């Protein structure tokens, strides 16, 4: 078992911080969340309380091109030292984070907050890898990794060289972990994320959808060795988008559910040896002229996907009783691999994930 003391210490650190998830919640509600593959975030970190100087201090810098100039003729300056100051015990720093890394960072906070389970390490070989990172943080204080194969041998050599005795104490001498590679077998998923971007989608709804997608990523990343992901946005028409575009699309237009469903069906073609997932987000306020076609497409699509999650993102004030939401609920009742969730708050995310973990036979095995 791999015990990551860095992550345990990080957990201890983050427990002392309040609102660290709140900071990120604001980011996921921004329409243009991803720019050039990066997310700009404010990172909050605790520092040991020490006295500081009350005024700005001189700093050593590198990268001067002029001589003694008054801030002129300078290129990018690398600050080599100096006090940072700060207005409280915790300090903030702005960081441009790679989107993938942002997701991983946020997932941990989300899972904690929503009280969702952690998964074992990514599936490899015939079954899951039998080692996994320690995520049971109550087990702090355990010694870090022992690699008896490698380091004890060295401990024997050292003990013999120094004391002429062949002895080793694993508690002292063994601390290094060497991972043994295993043969990898591919378990593949095709995940299609379909988002209604008609005019009624608010920033808080957008935030909820994104949070739910990050949670879905987490569980499906742990379930499959290869995750093929496709993204569709639709209003009157449906368009295939890249992931970054999907997370930076603004709302406009009316709702034609059938366009989104049909596009998903098209994209799923040819992925025969994949488990296919459809995650559909809409307020289900479909144009009445489209209801019949949408219903027909929904029944067709139900046969083509391994698991489908139909998520109603209607405003908390509205009831989920539009004609198309009623149709969707009926379809979900008739098919065990289709779930229907109303996403008014983070509780809805939890419900959708629990449905995925309990209803989908493949994920259930995790």
Partner 1 sequence: MTELKKYEERLLRDAEALGLSFDDVLFKIATPDEIREIAAFGLPNRYLHWVFGAQYKNLDIMEKSGQMHIYELVLNSVPVIASLSRKNSQQENIMVMAHVFGHADVFHNNKEYKKTNKQMVHKAADNVSQIEDLKRKHSKKTIDDYLTALMSIAKASMNTFQFPAKKKRSLFYQLYDVAPTESHEKQLFDIVREESEYFDVVFRTQYLNEGWAQFMELELLGNYLSPNQWIDFAKSCSARPGPYQIGQVIFSSIKKQHGFEKCLEVRAYYDDIAIVGEFLTQKLVNKLKLGVKFGENIITDVGVVINEILEEKKYQNIPSLIVEGIEKRLGSSRLLLAYHEREGKKLEVDVKLPLYMQQVHLIWKHDIELAIYDAQKKRSDIFIFDGTLRRMK
Quick one: which of 18, 32, 76, 81 contacts partner 1 (CB under 8 A)?
81
Nearest-angstrom CA–CA distance, 310 and 159: 64
Query: Which segment (173-181, 190-198, 268-276, 301-309) binds partner 1 by CB under 8 A?
Result: 173-181
Nearest-angstrom CA–CA distance, 120 and 135: 9
Nearest-angstrom CA–CA distance, 264 and 279: 10
CB 178 → partner 1: shortest distance, Å?
Answer: 8
- Both tokens of 115, joined, read 């009280």
Q: What are phi and psi of 150, to 5 degrees?
A: -90, -50
Residue with smaller CB distance to partner 1, 8 or 313: 8
Query: Comparing C-alpha atoms, which of 276, 279, 2, 310 is closest to residue 130?
Result: 2
Nearest-angstrom CA–CA distance, 310 and 341: 6
Widest distance between CA atoms in the chain: 89
Near partner 1 in 34-53, by CB under 8 A: 38, 43, 45-53
CB 156 → partner 1: shortest distance, Å?
Answer: 13
Nearest-angstrom CA–CA distance, 133 and 329: 39
Query: Comparing C-alpha atoms, which of 277, 298, 185, 301 is closest to residue 229?
Result: 277
Site for partner 1 contains 69 (CB under 8 A): yes
Query: Which segment (75-83, 194-202, 227-235, 251-259) binds partner 1 by CB under 8 A?
Result: 75-83
Site for partner 1 contains 89 (CB under 8 A): yes
Site for partner 1 contains 243 (CB under 8 A): no
Site for partner 1 contains 92 (CB under 8 A): no
Quick one: which of 18, 32, 36, 67 contacts partner 1 (CB under 8 A)?
67
Burial 102-125, CB ≥16 within 10 A → b, else e:
bbebbbbbbbeebebeebeebbbe
Site for partner 1 contains 270 (CB under 8 A): no
Site for partner 1 contains 300 (CB under 8 A): no
Burial class (CB in 10 A: 0-12, 13-18, 19+), 183: exposed
Residue with smaller CB distance to partner 1, 77 or 185: 77
Quick one: which of 9, 31, 166, 185 contacts partner 1 (CB under 8 A)?
9
Site for partner 1 contains 12 (CB under 8 A): yes
Nearest-angstrom CA–CA distance, 164 and 115: 54
Residue with smaller CB distance to partner 1, 16 or 31: 16
Site for partner 1 contains 54 (CB under 8 A): yes
Residue with smaller CB distance to partner 1, 15 or 252: 15
Quick one: which of 26, 42, 121, 158 contacts partner 1 (CB under 8 A)?
158
- Per the listing, tokens 């700093």 go with 59
Query: Which segment (9-17, 22-30, 276-284, 351-359) binds partner 1 by CB under 8 A?
Result: 9-17
Site for partner 1 contains 86 (CB under 8 A): yes
Residue 314's contacts (CB-CB under 8 Å, 6 or more residues apart) are 283, 284, 285, 320, 322, 325, 342, 344
CB 223 → partner 1: shortest distance, Å?
Answer: 22
CB 105 → partner 1: shortest distance, Å?
Answer: 8
Nearest-angstrom CA–CA distance, 278 and 264: 8
- Both tokens of 302, joined, read 């139900």
Residue with smaller CB distance to partner 1, 89 or 364: 89
Site for partner 1 contains 122 (CB under 8 A): no
Nearest-angstrom CA–CA distance, 10 and 137: 10
Residue with smaller CB distance to partner 1, 49 or 270: 49
Quick one: which of 19, 26, 42, 62 contacts partner 1 (CB under 8 A)?
62
Site for partner 1 contains 272 (CB under 8 A): no
How many amino acids of this chain bind partner 1 (CB under 8 A)?
73
DSSP strand E in 126-202: where? 127-128, 188-196
Residue with smaller CB distance to partner 1, 140 or 330: 140
Near partner 1 in 127-156, by CB under 8 A: 140-141, 143-144, 154
């Amino acid at each position: 078992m791999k015990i990551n003391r860095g992550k345990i210490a990080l957990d201890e650190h983050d427990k002392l911080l309040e609102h660290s998830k709140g900071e990120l919640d604001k980011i996921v509600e921004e329409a243009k969340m991803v720019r050039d593959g990066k997310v700009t975030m404010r990172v909050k970190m605790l520092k040991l309380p020490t006295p500081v100087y009350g005024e700005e201090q001189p700093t050593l810098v590198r990268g001067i091109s002029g001589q003694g100039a008054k801030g002129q003729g300078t290129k990018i300056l690398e600050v080599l030292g100096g006090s940072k100051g700060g207005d409280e015990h915790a300090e903030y720093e702005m960081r441009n984070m790679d989107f993938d890394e942002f997701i991983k960072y946020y997932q941990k906070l989300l899972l904690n907050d929503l009280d969702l389970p952690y998964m074992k390490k990514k599936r490899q070989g015939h079954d899951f890898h039998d080692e996994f990172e320690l995520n049971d943080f109550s087990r702090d204080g355990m010694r870090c990794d022992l690699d008896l194969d490698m380091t004890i041998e060295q401990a024997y050599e050292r003990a013999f060289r120094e004391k002429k005795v062949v002895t080793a104490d694993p508690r002292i001498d063994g601390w290094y972990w060497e991972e043994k590679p295993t043969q990898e077998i591919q378990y593949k998923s095709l995940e299609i994320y379909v988002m209604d971007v008609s005019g009624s989608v608010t920033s808080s709804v957008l935030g909820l959808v994104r949070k739910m997608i990050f949670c879905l990523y987490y569980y499906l990343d742990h379930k499959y060795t290869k995750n093929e992901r496709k993204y569709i946005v639709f209003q009157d028409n449906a368009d295939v988008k890249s992931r970054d575009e999907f997370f930076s699309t603004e709302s406009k237009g009316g709702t034609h559910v059938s366009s989104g469903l049909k596009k998903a069906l098209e994209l799923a073609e040819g992925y025969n040896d994949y488990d296919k997932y459809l995650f559909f987000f809409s307020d289900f306020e479909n144009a009445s002229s489209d209801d019949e076609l949408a219903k027909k497409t929904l029944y067709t699509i139900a046969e083509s996907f391994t698991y489908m999650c139909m998520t109603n993102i209607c405003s908390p004030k509205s009831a989920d009783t539009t004609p198309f939401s009623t149709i969707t609920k009926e379809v979900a009742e008739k098919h065990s691999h289709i779930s229907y969730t109303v996403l008014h708050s983070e509780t809805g995310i939890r419900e959708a994930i629990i449905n995925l973990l309990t209803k989908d036979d493949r994920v259930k095995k995790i």
